[in-house]
Structure 1
Amino acid sequence: MTKVLIYIRSISLLIGVLVITIGCNSKDASVGDIAYIGGEIVNPKNKNVILYHTNGEVVDSFVLDANNRFSHKMTDLNSGLYTITHGGEYQLVLLEPNDSVMFRLNTYDFDESLVFTGNGAKKNNYLIKTYLSNEKEADKLVEYSKMEPEAFHDFIEERRQRHLDELNTFLEHNTQSDFFRSILEANINYNNFADKEIYPFAYFGNNKLVHVKDLPERFYAHRKDIDYNAEHLSRFFSYNRFLFSHIDNLAIDSYYEDNEYHSKFDRHSMCYNKTKLDLIDSIITDETIKNNLLKYKARDFISHNHTEAEAEELLNYYLNKSTNEEDKAYLRELVSSLKLLRQGNPLPDLQVVSYDDKDYNLNSMIKRPTIIYFWSSNSKSQYRNSHYKVRSLKNQFDFMDFISINVNDNDDKYWKKIIENYDFSTVNEYKFKDSDKARKTLAVNYLNKAIIVDSKGTILHPNVNIFSSDFAEALEELLKEKHLIK
Structure 2
Amino acid sequence: MKNFPLLAKHIALMFLMACLTFGCKSNSDSNGAYAYIGGEIINPKNKTIVLYNTKGKVVDSLTLDANNRFIHKITNLNPGLYSLTHGGEYQMILLEANDSIMFRLNTYDFDESMVFTGVGAKKNNYLIKTYLSNEREAKKLVKYSKMEPEAFHAFVEKRRLNQLKEFNKFLEYNKESELFKSIIEANINYNTYADKEIYPFAYFGNNKLIHVKDLPEEFYVHRANIDYNANHLSNFFSYNRFLFSNIDNLAIESYYKNNAFHSKFDRHAMDYNKSKLDLIDSIISDEAIKNNLLKYKARDYISHNHTADQANEILNYYLSKSTNDEDKASLKDLVSKLELLRQGNPIPNLALVNFDDTEHLITSIITKPTIIYFWSSNSKSQYRNSHYKVNELKSKFPKMDFISINVNNNDDKSWKKIISNYNFPTRNEFKFKNSKEARKTLAVNYLNKAIIVNKNGIILHPNANIFRSGFEEALKELLQKKHLIIK
Q: TM-score scaled to structure 1, two decimals?
A: 0.92
Counterparts of 1:412-451 in structure 2, within 5 Å, are 412-451=412-451
Aligned equivalent of 1:208: 208
Aligned equivalent of 1:112: 112
Aligned equivalent of 1:372: 372
Counterparts of 1:385-404 in structure 2, within 5 Å, are 385-404=385-404
Aligned equivalent of 1:383: 383
Letter in 2 for 1:329: A
1:254 lines up with 2:249 in the alignment = no
SS at 2:461's partner residue? strand
**Deviations 1:20-63 (Å, cap 9, x if unpaired)?**
xxxxxxxxx99933321101111111111111222233222211
* Higher alpha-carbon deviation: 43-52 or 257-266: 43-52
Aligned equivalent of 2:333: 333
Letter in 2 for 1:453: V
Counterpart-to-counterpart distance in 2, 1:147 and 1:199: 10
Aligned equivalent of 1:184: 184
Aligned equivalent of 1:87: 87
Aligned equivalent of 1:346: 346
Counterpart-to-counterpart distance in 1, 2:333 and 2:78: 36
Counterpart-to-counterpart distance in 2, 1:124 and 1:286: 27
Counterpart-to-counterpart distance in 1, 2:172 and 2:32: 28
1:229 lines up with 2:229 in the alignment = yes
CA contact (8 A) 1:47 1:64 kept: yes
Letter in 1 for 2:354: S
CA contact (8 A) 1:32 1:78 kept: no
Counterpart-to-counterpart distance in 2, 1:229 and 1:81: 16
Please report how far the alpha carbon of residue 77 of structure 1 lies from its aligned counterpart in structure 2 after TM superposition.
Answer: 2.3
CA contact (8 A) 2:80 2:232 kept: no
Letter in 2 for 1:71: I
1:281 lines up with 2:281 in the alignment = yes
**Deviations 1:43-96 (Å, cap 9, x if unpaired)?**
111111111222233222211111111101223322211111111111111111
Please report how far the alpha carbon of residue 185 of structure 1 lies from its aligned counterpart in structure 2 after TM superposition.
Answer: 0.4
* Higher alpha-carbon deviation: 32-41 or 470-479: 32-41
Letter in 2 for 1:301: Y
Counterpart-to-counterpart distance in 1, 2:172 and 2:456: 67
Counterpart-to-counterpart distance in 2, 1:175 and 1:130: 18
Aligned equivalent of 1:78: 78
Please report how far the alpha carbon of residue 463 of structure 1 lies from its aligned counterpart in structure 2 after TM superposition.
Answer: 0.3
Letter in 1 for 2:291: N
CA contact (8 A) 2:322 2:328 kept: yes
Aligned equivalent of 1:198: 198
* Higher alpha-carbon deviation: 59-68 or 183-192: 59-68
**Deviations 1:167-191 (Å, cap 9, x if unpaired)?**
1011111111111101000111111
Gaps of 5+ in 1: 1-28
* Higher alpha-carbon deviation: 454-463 or 79-88: 79-88
CA contact (8 A) 2:79 2:95 kept: yes
SS at 2:305's partner residue? coil
Aligned equivalent of 2:4: none
**Deviations 1:401-453 (Å, cap 9, x if unpaired)?**
10000000101011000101111111100000000010000000010000000
SS at 2:34's partner residue? strand
Letter in 2 for 1:466: I
1:143 lines up with 2:143 in the alignment = yes
Computing the radius of gyration over CA atoms, which structure comes out larger, 1 or 2? Answer: 2
CA contact (8 A) 2:419 2:426 kept: yes
Aligned equivalent of 1:245: 245
Aligned equivalent of 1:164: 164
Counterpart-to-counterpart distance in 2, 1:101 and 1:355: 39
CA contact (8 A) 2:348 2:441 kept: yes
Q: How well do the aligned residues superpose, as a CA RMSD in angstroms? A: 1.3
Please report how far the alpha carbon of residue 471 of structure 1 lies from its aligned counterpart in structure 2 after TM superposition.
Answer: 1.0
Counterpart-to-counterpart distance in 1, 2:252 and 2:245: 11
Please report how far the alpha carbon of residue 158 of structure 1 lies from its aligned counterpart in structure 2 after TM superposition.
Answer: 0.6
Aligned equivalent of 2:480: 480
CA contact (8 A) 2:375 2:382 kept: yes
Please report how far the alpha carbon of residue 483 of structure 1 lies from its aligned counterpart in structure 2 after TM superposition.
Answer: 8.6
Letter in 1 for 2:194: A
Counterpart-to-counterpart distance in 2, 1:33 and 1:441: 43
**Deviations 1:306-349 (Å, cap 9, x if unpaired)?**
11110011101111011101000000000001000010000100
Counterpart-to-counterpart distance in 1, 2:325 and 2:60: 26
Please report how far the alpha carbon of residue 121 of structure 1 lies from its aligned counterpart in structure 2 after TM superposition.
Answer: 1.2
Counterpart-to-counterpart distance in 1, 2:104 and 2:89: 14
**Deviations 1:81-119 (Å, cap 9, x if unpaired)?**
111111111111111122211111111111111111112
Counterpart-to-counterpart distance in 1, 2:354 and 2:55: 40
Aligned equivalent of 1:452: 452
Counterpart-to-counterpart distance in 1, 2:176 and 2:452: 54
Aligned equivalent of 2:407: 407
Aligned equivalent of 1:298: 298
1:133 lines up with 2:133 in the alignment = yes
* Higher alpha-carbon deviation: 264-273 or 70-79: 70-79
SS at 1:265's partner residue? coil
Please report how far the alpha carbon of residue 391 of structure 1 lies from its aligned counterpart in structure 2 after TM superposition.
Answer: 0.4
**Percent identical residues:** 74
Letter in 1 for 2:320: N
Counterpart-to-counterpart distance in 1, 2:262 and 2:180: 47
**Deviations 1:185-241 (Å, cap 9, x if unpaired)?**
011111100001001001100000000011111110000001111111111111110
Counterpart-to-counterpart distance in 2, 1:263 and 1:106: 50
Letter in 1 for 2:124: N
**Deviations 1:351-402 (Å, cap 9, x if unpaired)?**
0000000000001110000000000011000000000000000000011110
Counterpart-to-counterpart distance in 2, 1:315 and 1:408: 28
Letter in 1 for 2:107: T
Q: 1:181 to 1:333 in 2, by over 3 A?
A: same
Counterpart-to-counterpart distance in 2, 1:185 and 1:87: 30
Counterparts of 1:10-49 in structure 2, within 5 Å, are 32-49=32-49
Q: TM-score scaled to structure 2, two decimals?
A: 0.92
Counterpart-to-counterpart distance in 1, 2:387 and 2:102: 36
Q: How many corresponding residue pairs? A: 456
CA contact (8 A) 2:374 2:448 kept: yes
* Greater RCO (Cα-Cα under 8 Å, separation 6 or more): 1
Letter in 1 for 2:259: N
CA contact (8 A) 2:48 2:63 kept: yes
SS at 2:447's partner residue? coil
SS at 1:346's partner residue? coil
CA contact (8 A) 2:460 2:483 kept: no
